Structure 1
Amino acid sequence: MAHLLGGESLAISFGTRTVLDGVTVGLNEGDRIGIVGRNGDGKSTLMRLLAQRLTPDAGRVTWRRGVNVGYLDQGDVLDGDLTVGAAIVGDRADYEWASNPTIRDIMGGLVADVDWHAQVHSLSGGQKRRVALAKLLIEPHDVIMLDEPTNHLDVEGVAWLARHLKTRWRPTEGAFLVVTHDRWFLDEVCNDTWEVHDGIVEPFEGGYAAYVLARAERDRMAAVVEGKRANLVKKELAWLRRGAPARTSKPKFRIEAANALISDVPEPRDTVALSKMATARLGKDVIDLEDVTLAYDGGDPHAKPLLDGITLRLAPGERVGLVGVNGAGKSTLLRLLSGDIAPTSGRVKRGKTVVPAVLSQDVRELDDVADLRVIEVIQREKQTFTVGSKELTAGQLVEQLGFTNEKQWTRVSELSGGERRRLQLLRLLVGEPNVLMLDEPTNDLDTDTLAAVEDVLDGWPGTLVVVSHDRYLLERVTDHQLALLGDGKLRDLPGGVEQYLALREAALAAAEALPGQSPQDAEAAPAAPGRSEAEKREARKELSRIERQLGKLAAQEEKLHAQMAASAEDFVRLGDLNAQLNELHGQKDELELAWLEASEVLE
């Protein structure tokens, strides 16, 4: 593969802190590389150096002659006074770009619902991000560098971007670097991972799942003393092996070592025990929305309500993920649940023992403690805190979420965006709420911190509602997902995020087939004529048959995991068992797809 660009012996410091020290890396055609590491360790700095947007203190960056590099900034750098069209295509005539099918696909995937003549400053954060991506992607770059491209994108936008990057070039052509905290995205698009830590860059083969497995092996081989971090890695590894084992097919190192690492790691959550604790704290009633409608008509009596006739009953210890297009009303639904706003009609019923807490997107709640130090903020709330069966001091809890002894004495006003989110989450938890609502909690957090947050949430026994575009987080900390599809209705997603994306894709296709109809209208409209009773009876039989088969496969899967744990020293046996497990997962995927198809007949 031809070399595109690289850095040799790169070193850079900011003040007295050395961020990168003697780093040598290269990018070849066909490389699809994700950059991970803790906040502040130098991920964006490395990418800016390679893009020649920053000059190193030592070393040099070289590009192959004629290489074309495109760069997506983490922040908003578009000219707010330009129209959307001018920001994307400049002064080019429509026929110059509209005749290109690739550009048309990019426009349709990113900015189809954005007003072409609107000024950029009038757009939402998600719309600005999509405009910036469209501006970058329509150009014929050899190398693309993306700094947090999924920020402000909804689940649908992230899925589209992943598909585009996977098909943009042939496998041996082009290259990209991406800095992101979105672990599903890393797994979906990357074939290599660079970890930036302690001034160096360490390469790993594969996406995020492979990186977690390889890092766990590295820690095991090196007998790392860093116990707390290694325990989090082990827990993340256990989730990947048990919850999404298909993701672990890329690593090349010894599988038996990985299985030995997790043989003593319990399931992420003891669902039964947490449910009992939640019931004891909450009683039978939590929060019920009954036929709730919320209308923002702006004086237009014919305007559609934002939320229309929604009924939702939260149970003690329930863990719900909420997805939907930008502007569908996800944050508004959280505000209804928390009592910040009242519905236009319908009833909101709260249990007498409910103590809600909301992590908002902008964490302005910390403004009133800006002059305090991190540890003082937590100690002012509470001195000790129980996580699962463990009792931690405020200092121990703060350290568990990544605040070192030095950072604990930093003033809140000096914290980064990710550190502020961590602190506000801690502040909410030490207030001992029993209903926790998180609005885009992954913003500005690195992958290590996300694993730490998930670890804390695993032992938290209350009711949890999470709004997020981070598919990995939703699958990891919630037990089922719901969708607001933009028509004011709330829909259950037994098939998870994949079902949501399929529904959106079908709605968009229907909207294209019916000019003048919005995707939201298409989602609200029947997808097909009413099913006959005979079809419904057959569908019920099929569902019953599939569910029995899925139950048998679940038992077989559990048995295989037990056999793999017992065969950690027998590599040949372990390979055979792993092959059986992969075959079983293939059968399971086919059955789940059939289940979804049958369930749609009954809707």
Structure 2
Amino acid sequence: MAHLLGAESLHLEYPTRIVFDSVTLGIEEGDRIGIVGKNGDGKSSLLRMLTGSLDPQSGRVTRRGGVRFGVLAQGDDLDPDSTVAREVVGDMDEHEWAGDARVRDVIAGLVSDVPWEARIGDLSGGQRRRVALAALLIGDWDLIALDEPTNHLDVEGIAWLAEHLNRRWAKNAGGLIVITHDRWFLDEVCNKTWEVHDQIVEPFEGGYAAYVLQRVERDRIAAATETKRQNMMRKELAWLRRGAPARTSKPKFRIEAANELIADIPPVRNPIELKQMAVSRLGKDVVDVLDAGVVFGEREILRDVTWRIGPGERTGILGANGTGKSTLLSLIAGTLKPTSGVVKRGKTVKLGMLDQQFSQLAEIGSDRVREVLGREKTTFNVDGKDLTPAQLLERLGFAKEHLSARVDELSGGQKRRLQLLLLLLSEPNVIVLDEPTNDVDSDMLAAMEDLLDSWPGTLLVVSHDRYLLERITDQQYAILDKKLRHVPGGVDEYLRLRAEGPAPTATKQAAAPEPQGLSGSERRAAEKELASIERRLEKITGEVEKIHGRMATHDQGDFDGLQKLNTQLRELQNEADSLEERWLELGEQLG
């Protein structure tokens, strides 16, 4: 494999601390590297040194001649007076970008809902971030560096980005460096992991699952120095082995070594026992949402939602941005009344909510953390042990020196830790988490999940973090076409339903496998359907060619028209994919 970039003896320090001391690294063609580590340990500083936007005090970064390096930093340099169209496709002629399948795919995957002619300065932070990512991915790069690319993307957008990066280069071509706290994304995309800690960068083979295994092995060899951390990560490993077969079936994950390490680790949680405890604390009635609808002005957000939430239920809520997930949580919390229908709450319900705005901390911003904890006299039981608030905070990764800091002075991740702690200590029996992974690193996420595993109550979670949803919830619901529906197949089923659109087509409904051994009449029907599919595929090919021709000659300023053409193209492609699947099934049946 050819060399892309190298870093030799990098040293970086600030007046108060040394960040890196003599770090040497290399990136080869085919490397897909995920950078993990605690917030504040230097992940973004490392990326900035590698990309050339930060100079180390000593050492050097070298790049192979001619290597094209694309970078998505935490901020962007988009022109606020420019338009979305100009920032994404630049000076490319319309026929040039409209006729390029990869460009159209990037636009559809990231900015299809952003007005093409909108001014950059008028966009929301999330829209602006997606425009910057789209502008980068349209370029032709040998090496790409991404700093938190999944921020502001929903589950569907994250799945699209992973698929795009996986097929962007051939297996042993191109290079990727990515900082993200999204552990599913790390597992899906990366073949190497760099952990930033204690002034060094430690390399591991594989994505997140393989990294966890190797880290547990490392901690076991290092023995008793970090007993708490080691045990927590062993629990994480146990879940990866037992609860995520799609990840652990990968060849790079050494299954025998993993099984040996977790032989004495019990299951992550006992759902039956937790539900029994939840019933004793909650009673049988929690929250019943009955035929509820919400309308803001002329805009309908939710329609005919019925959901009877039971004691001990652990549910993840899925949905694209803007579909009404937070609105649904507000109905459950009682902060919003439905426009139609009713919401009933059990008499014993005590609801605690972790929101995105840190609203629980607003009134104690000038207080020191030590003072806040001093008001809490309760203890919290974790795995049969009573922990004090200070011990809990330490378990969540809080350093002792932060106890003297004022709440307003804490970083986003530290505020999230404190917010979660105060929520748990308030002893609710229903917890609602709205995007709890914001500002949180992977170690903190593992600690949060560890605490919630033994929490006996009803848990409702809205998150774009697919790993977290699969880890701490037992079932998922999705908001689709303004209604709430159960998705027994979890995130994978949700993504399939989103791809199919509001209602499955007749073709897709017909795609169920036929019984083996066709009778004469069945064979004739299958042959007739096969011929029909072939005719339709020929027709679709012609329609696609016509749309490509219209795109090439279309008025460059008519962005709405181009969006419609893109939509038609995507619908035809989805239909063709379904027809081809059915064609293959019929071919197998007919022999």
Report the TM-score when normalising by structure 1. 0.82
Matched, 1:504 2:482: no
- Number of residue pairs matched by the alignment: 515
Please tell me the residue identity of whatever aligns with 1:107: I
State the partner residue of 1:333. 328
Structure 2 residue matching 1:259: 3-state secondary structure: helix
Distance in 2 between residues matched to 1:92 and 1:153, nearest whole Å: 26
Structure 2 residue matching 1:225: 3-state secondary structure: helix
Residues 279 and 316 in structure 1, CA contact (< 8 A), matched pair in contact too: yes
1:255 Cα offset (Å): 4.8
**C-alpha distance 425-76 of structure 1, shift in aligned 2 (>3 A):** farther
State the partner residue of 2:571. none
State the partner residue of 2:415. 420
Distance in 1 between residues matched to 2:412 and 2:311, nearest whole Å: 32
Please tell me the residue identity of whatever aligns with 1:331: S
**C-alpha distance 430-107 of structure 1, shift in aligned 2 (>3 A):** same
Structure 1 residue matching 2:428: 3-state secondary structure: coil
Higher alpha-carbon deviation: 103-112 or 91-100: 91-100
Please tell me the residue identity of whatever aligns with 1:500: Y
Higher alpha-carbon deviation: 149-158 or 9-18: 9-18
Distance in 2 between residues matched to 1:108 and 1:183, nearest whole Å: 24
1:383 Cα offset (Å): 4.0
Residues 48 and 54 in structure 1, CA contact (< 8 A), matched pair in contact too: yes
State how 1:549-560 maps to structure 2 within 5 Å: none
Distance in 2 between residues matched to 1:364 and 1:120, nearest whole Å: 29
Residues 210 and 253 in structure 2, CA contact (< 8 A), matched pair in contact too: no
Q: Deviations over 1:507-548 (max 9, x none)?
A: 1xxxxxxxxxxxxxxx1x46439989xx99x9xxxxxxxxxx
Residues 89 and 135 in structure 1, CA contact (< 8 A), matched pair in contact too: yes
State the partner residue of 2:358. 363
Structure 2 residue matching 1:152: 3-state secondary structure: coil
Match of 1:445 among 440, 450, 474: 440
Residues 70 and 141 in structure 1, CA contact (< 8 A), matched pair in contact too: yes
Residues 210 and 254 in structure 2, CA contact (< 8 A), matched pair in contact too: no
Residues 154 and 321 in structure 2, CA contact (< 8 A), matched pair in contact too: yes
1:286 Cα offset (Å): 0.4
Residues 374 and 411 in structure 1, CA contact (< 8 A), matched pair in contact too: yes
Residues 206 and 252 in structure 2, CA contact (< 8 A), matched pair in contact too: no
State the partner residue of 1:468. 463
Distance in 2 between residues matched to 1:264 and 1:449, nearest whole Å: 24
Distance in 1 between residues matched to 2:459 and 2:74, nearest whole Å: 30
1:151 Cα offset (Å): 0.7
State the partner residue of 2:557. none
Distance in 2 between residues matched to 1:4 and 1:289, nearest whole Å: 56
State the partner residue of 2:240. 240
State the partner residue of 1:160. 160
Q: Note the residue ranges of structure 1 that are not aligned, 5 or more in a row.
A: 508-522, 539-596, 598-603
State the partner residue of 1:100. 100
Q: Deviations over 1:308-346 (max 9, x none)?
A: 010011100100001111000001111111011111111
Structure 2 residue matching 1:92: 3-state secondary structure: coil
Match of 2:485 among 486, 491, 500: 491
Residues 389 and 421 in structure 2, CA contact (< 8 A), matched pair in contact too: no
**C-alpha distance 89-7 of structure 1, shift in aligned 2 (>3 A):** same
Matched, 1:41 2:41: yes
* CA RMSD across the alignment: 2.2
State how 1:220-299 maps to structure 2 within 5 Å: 220-249=220-249, 255-297=255-297
**C-alpha distance 329-121 of structure 1, shift in aligned 2 (>3 A):** farther
The percent of aligned pairs where both chains have the same amino acid is 61
Structure 2 residue matching 1:194: 3-state secondary structure: strand
Please tell me the residue identity of whatever aligns with 1:229: R
Distance in 1 between residues matched to 2:400 and 2:486, nearest whole Å: 44
1:260 Cα offset (Å): 2.7
State the partner residue of 1:128. 128
Distance in 1 between residues matched to 2:87 and 2:369, nearest whole Å: 41
State how 1:522-541 maps to structure 2 within 5 Å: 523=502, 525=503, 527-528=505-506
**C-alpha distance 246-224 of structure 1, shift in aligned 2 (>3 A):** farther
State the partner residue of 2:83. 83
Distance in 1 between residues matched to 2:322 and 2:37, nearest whole Å: 31
Please tell me the residue identity of whatever aligns with 2:506: A
Report the TM-score when normalising by structure 2. 0.84
Q: Deviations over 1:31-59 (max 9, x none)?
A: 10000111111111111100001000111
Residues 382 and 431 in structure 1, CA contact (< 8 A), matched pair in contact too: no
1:253 Cα offset (Å): 8.6
Residues 37 and 447 in structure 1, CA contact (< 8 A), matched pair in contact too: yes
1:121 Cα offset (Å): 3.5
Task: Choose 1 or 2 for highest CA Rg.
Answer: 2
Matched, 1:345 2:340: yes
Q: Note the residue ranges of structure 2 that are not aligned, 5 or more in a row.
A: 516-584, 586-591
Distance in 2 between residues matched to 1:413 and 1:361, nearest whole Å: 16
Q: Deviations over 1:245-282 (max 9, x none)?
A: 34235576975443232111111111111111110111
Distance in 2 between residues matched to 1:308 and 1:429, nearest whole Å: 32
Structure 1 residue matching 2:26: 3-state secondary structure: strand
Residues 378 and 430 in structure 1, CA contact (< 8 A), matched pair in contact too: no
Residues 241 and 258 in structure 2, CA contact (< 8 A), matched pair in contact too: no
**C-alpha distance 77-383 of structure 1, shift in aligned 2 (>3 A):** farther
State the partner residue of 1:590. none
Structure 2 residue matching 1:295: 3-state secondary structure: strand
State the partner residue of 1:380. 375
**C-alpha distance 249-498 of structure 1, shift in aligned 2 (>3 A):** closer
Distance in 2 between residues matched to 1:465 and 1:54, nearest whole Å: 42
**C-alpha distance 415-97 of structure 1, shift in aligned 2 (>3 A):** same
Structure 2 residue matching 1:358: 3-state secondary structure: strand
Q: Deviations over 1:102-147 (max 9, x none)?
A: 1112112212222101223433443223211110000111111000
